[in-house]
Amino acid sequence: MILKNTHKKSEAEILRQKAESLLKKKTPTKVSSLSEAETLKLIYELQVHQIELEMQNDELMLAKFAAQDAIELYDFAPTGYFTLSKEGEIIELNHSGAEMLDKERQRCKNSRFSFFISADNKPIFNLFLAKVFNSNAKETCEVTLLRDGNAPMNVQLTGIVTKNEENVY
């Protein structure tokens, strides 16, 4: 047996109510009597517009699914991914990145990445970060990560600046 919750409105119903509410707020326009041909033309134009909107909605749904897939690929990739600010602050990271740092993902965000790098490798990392932002090209370096209770880990960092030139990933 399938039970339906009749109290919930569909997204389409909510959208329609919002549209009707906005229409009521607009100043009323004087409607002249239209000929049958003009009325049919308006109906045709509305039907075409409705189909266009439905097609746009389908495209948006496909884009939404693609974005969700990309997020899952990022989150569960076997390689550690980080997004860093110009100051080296961790903006975003995936699960593998958090495992590399031996920390919970949420606890890593807003932390300085250099906090996890051995003292003798911090100048290497700082130079790497400066090069990435100054060259707008892909840069690499090798550093040693310090991890709570675990052996240090040698890693190769590869970074490139984001399109808005405010972060590196």
So what CATH class is 78-168?
alpha beta
Q: What is the average pLDDT value for the chain, to the nearest integer?
A: 86
Across residues 87-93, what is the average pLDDT?
A: 93
Q: Are residues 136 and 161 in contact, defined by beta-carbon separation less than 8 angstroms? A: yes
User: For position 16, what pLDDT does the model report?
Assistant: 82
CB within 8 A of 136, min separation 6: which ones? Answer: 160, 161, 165
- Residue 150 exposure: Cα atoms within 13 Å on the Cβ side: 14
- If pLDDT is split at 50, 70 and 90, which confidence band does 10 have? confident
Across residues 119-144, what is the average pLDDT?
A: 93
Containing 92, the helix (H) or strand (E) segment is strand 90-93
Count other C-beta atoms under 10 Å from residue 143's C-beta: 22
The residue among 5 and 152 whose pLDDT is bigger is 152
Separation CA 141–CA 84 (nearest Å): 15
User: For position 25, what pLDDT does the model report?
Assistant: 82
- If pLDDT is split at 50, 70 and 90, which confidence band does 17 have? confident
Domain-by-domain residue ranges, the chain?
A: 35-75, 78-168
- If pLDDT is split at 50, 70 and 90, which confidence band does 52 have? very high
CB within 8 A of 154, min separation 6: which ones? Answer: 142, 143, 144, 145
Percentage of the chain beyond pLDDT 70 is: 91
